[in-house]
Chains A and B, each alone.
Chain A
């Protein structure tokens, strides 16, 4: 496999050319992409309308944000001042493509206005894990060399194997570039919906624990949550105009940082993402407290895969599980007389 940094450079050049052409031929009015972060281990979404800003676009393994978030109804991007819909080009790694397709299935976005600039994603670094392992020392600069992530500080330099310190979800990711949909995809696209097999062995040891152990582990993981909702605001699938935690008629769950309320928020958000989550890992990458929600994402994917053989955002035709039903759905979980 070619060295990662060469791959990144190659991808960066292609997306710049594609974006420049799209803008030049007036095919799109705006390009949504990533630009260099001002702080190590981060990147920043950018909205480009002028051609000369194109070289601000970058691609590296720290482009963790799911840009489809800005297309969902709450994002102000889709309409210009006069209220007309504008055409948007979007740098689409696999999960961004999945998010766009799923938002189309849920009738939230209009695919004619969207041009996906597809890329073959080579994995996103688990920035929070590296941040925690470096600890209190300051990271001045990070780069990818060969098979390793090099993290430099003023008096130290550490290397991390890329394959191990990649995001958990990226390790298992089977949809590395956006599935092709009509003519709305330029650059790297999957011709047909990929065949997904996954044994979900990474969460099997968690699942085999007893309820007590699971509860204590969940409590320990989630208890540092400060309810800042960065995970909800970074998630492309969370676009409700008024989230259930913000409703006050009725007040469903409390807004405090008592563990009951934290549990209620994370559990019900997970429940709302069943069959919709596109496993982009943005929620874990943005959490200021470094809470790793990826194992919940994996469980959601597993439930929906095993019960309904469905993977979200790969095929515009099949309806997600929660939007349909079948007479012969499995029902072993139902209680029967013994």
Chain B
């Protein structure tokens, strides 16, 4: 389909037309950092940004989400109400390629097996992703090492390239194509614009300095479960949740009931959880299969770089680098991967006692 041009001053016009039908989520500045929020007017949008602190995953899989609500007669439940807001249409504006790819991983996970997580899947169904290429990736980015690249557009519906005063617009999916046809006032992109887009793509890719070789990381992880290297990797880990709560592919959640007991109603909600917390696998009997930071750090790395490839054939990491920036003790994931890759000695020699 022919690439189009959207002038930056036309974004307001685009937004007003979209916001009747869609809840528009876009990057705004919140307490010093970028966050994706539902916006009411276009001035709130922050156009010059690298990426958000909390990934856009929180739009479709929020940190606190209602599973169902219920009414009681004081003691017993009399009625359970399913969620009614799942059919609302969302438009996610300004999503980076790595985060867009994270939606594919999340969808793969929530749809896997004979139980599908309807809540996430319906919301993803009703969302349109308008992504933007990364003109200036950071040194902590390593999307090229996990089958991604700064201008990857196949996980988006509409792909924009920031050409300075205008956007190069390209429809990727049918949803995207059908949406673009509605805006007849978009002008056609010139050859020069398209060429400039490709140059930016090439330039962005060269900016990525981190190169991780993940070819046999999965096997290495599998055969080195009780290698002493894990003690060294998790030595200074504090066991907080920063890395998982800022990770676009972490999906673990806890389920809690909340009651408004004086009004005889309540709701069952789910909140983000992380394998780094002590309660995560604590049995009621007191036994905890993953008792210290050694097992927990290992589980996080294994889950994304060994279990995901085995179960779903995809690497469970999009290379956004948020966990590298957020870690209080700077436990760099790239260093962990390098340490795993160059484990020479077989597993038997240095076993965790």
* Neighbouring B residues of A137 by C-beta, 8 Å: 50
At the interface, yes or no: B258 with Cβ under 8 Å from chain A? Answer: yes
B176 to chain A, nearest CB (A): 26
CB nearest to A291 among chain B residues: B31
Minimum Cβ distance to chain B for residue A174 (Å): 26
Within 8 A of A (CB), among B1-45: 30-35
A66 to chain B, nearest CB (A): 11
- Could you tell me if B33 and A290 are in contact, using CB atoms closer than 8 angstroms? yes
Contact B330 A37 (CB under 8 A): yes
Closest Cβ–Cβ distance, residue B56 to chain A (whole Å): 15
Measured CB to CB, the closest approach of chain A to B319, in angstroms, equals 15
A230-B240 contact in complex given A39-B325, A224-B30, A288-B246, C-beta closer than 8 Å: yes
How far does the alpha carbon of A221 sit from the alpha carbon of B272 in the complex, in Å?
A: 21
**Is the CB of A289 closer than 8 A to any CB of chain B?**
yes
A51 within 8 A of B: no
Q: For B238, what are the chain A residues with a Cβ–Cβ distance below 8 Å?
A: 69, 230, 233-234, 286
Assembly CA distance A62 to B33 (angstroms): 21
Residues 268-286 of chain B: 1 if any A CB is under 8 Å from the residue's CB, otherwise 0?
0101101001110000000
Q: 1/0 contact trace for B225-242 toward A, CB 8 Å?
A: 000000000011011111
Q: When the two chains form their complex, are residues A138 and B139 in contact, meaning their CB atoms are under 8 A apart? A: yes
CB nearest to B141 among chain A residues? A138
- Distance A285 CA – B330 CA, assembled complex (angstroms): 12
Residues of A247-290 contacting chain B, CB below 8 A? 254-258, 285-286, 288-290
User: Which of B125-133, B193-201, B215-223, B331-339 lies at the interface?
Assistant: B331-339
B221 to chain A, nearest CB (A): 21
For A140, the chain B residues whose CB sits under 8 A away are 139
Whether B329 is near chain A, meaning CB under 8 Å from some CB there, is yes
- Residue from B32, B241, B334 in contact with A228 in the complex, judged by beta carbons closer than 8 Å: B241
Contact with B along A37-53 (1 / 0, CB 8 A): 11100111111000000
Once the chains bind, are B240 and A228 in contact (CB under 8 Å)?
yes
| Nearest B-chain residue to A251, judged by Cβ | B256
> How many positions in chain B have a CB within 8 Å of any CB in the partner chain?
50
CB-based contact A254/B236 at 8 Å: no
Give chain B residues whose Cβ lies under 8 Å from the Cβ of A285.
328
Complex CA–CA separation, A69 to B50 (angstroms): 34
B326 and A288 contact, CB distance less than 8 A: yes
The answer to whether B140 has its CB under 8 Å from any CB of chain A is yes
Which residue in B31, B240, B326 is a CB contact (below 8 Å) of A224? Answer: B31
List chain B positions with a Cβ less than 8 A from chain A. 30-35, 48-50, 53-54, 63-64, 136, 138-140, 235-236, 238-242, 244-246, 254, 256, 258, 269, 271-272, 274, 277-279, 292-293, 324-326, 328-332, 334-335, 353
12 contacts between A and B (CB under 8 A): A43-B330, A44-B330, A45-B329, A221-B31, A226-B63, A226-B245, A227-B271, A229-B240, A233-B239, A286-B240, A288-B326, A290-B32
List the 8 closest A-B pairs by CB distance, nearest first.
A286-B328, A132-B32, A228-B241, A233-B238, A230-B240, A288-B326, A233-B240, A44-B330
